[in-house]
Amino acid sequence: MKISSGKSVSIEYTMSFDGEEPVETSQDSEPLSFVQGEHEILSGIEQALEGLESGAEKTVVLGPDEAFGGVDSEAVVDVDLSRLPEDAQEPGAVVETHDDQGQTMTGEVIDVSEGMATIDFNHPLAGKTLEFGIKVLSVAEGTGSQEDA
């Protein structure tokens, strides 16, 4: 059975970026399962997997625009240090806030100086070219039983 819209798919993957060692893998945990065409994973991966069958292996490279976007300079903001909890007043600390629509935004304190903290609210993988090593483990009809590799 081939991967196409509406099929339940299970994959193993390893992700790396910028020629580094893998930064994330499903090999030590449960495989990643999703429904093809439901936008549950990055669209570039969905497109690359279209038509593959159980057992197929593929390397997929996604540029920033296909993955988590470029680095947005407007997502890096300076705030008065007194506005942050004490445990978030050093580089590397993770902070959360809400935007005007009530959506949670997570940022990383990247610098602290002169009573100000610089916080980067870009996605941690923004601006990165990602490489995925993928193995298709199974493909099945919707939510039915899966066809194993």
CATH at residue 89: 2.40.10.330
Burial of 7 per CB tally in 10 Å (0-12, 13-18, 19+):
buried
pLDDT band, residue 18 (cuts 50/70/90): confident
Q: Which residues contact 54 (CB under 8 A, 6 or more apart)?
A: 1, 136, 137, 138, 139, 147, 148, 149
Is the pLDDT at 147 greater than 50? The verdict is no
Question: 3 in a domain, yes or no?
Answer: no
State which residues form the domain around 81: 73-120
Q: CA nearest 33: which of 139, 120, 148, 149?
A: 139
Count how many residues are written for the chain: 149
Q: What is the mean pLDDT of residues 122-149?
A: 82
- Structural domains of the chain, count: 2
| Residue 143, pLDDT score | 63
- pLDDT at residue 24, as a whole number: 79
Residues 12 and 64 occupy one common structural domain = yes
Q: Which residue has the higher pLDDT, 35 or 21?
A: 35
Neighbours of 127 (CB within 10 A): 17
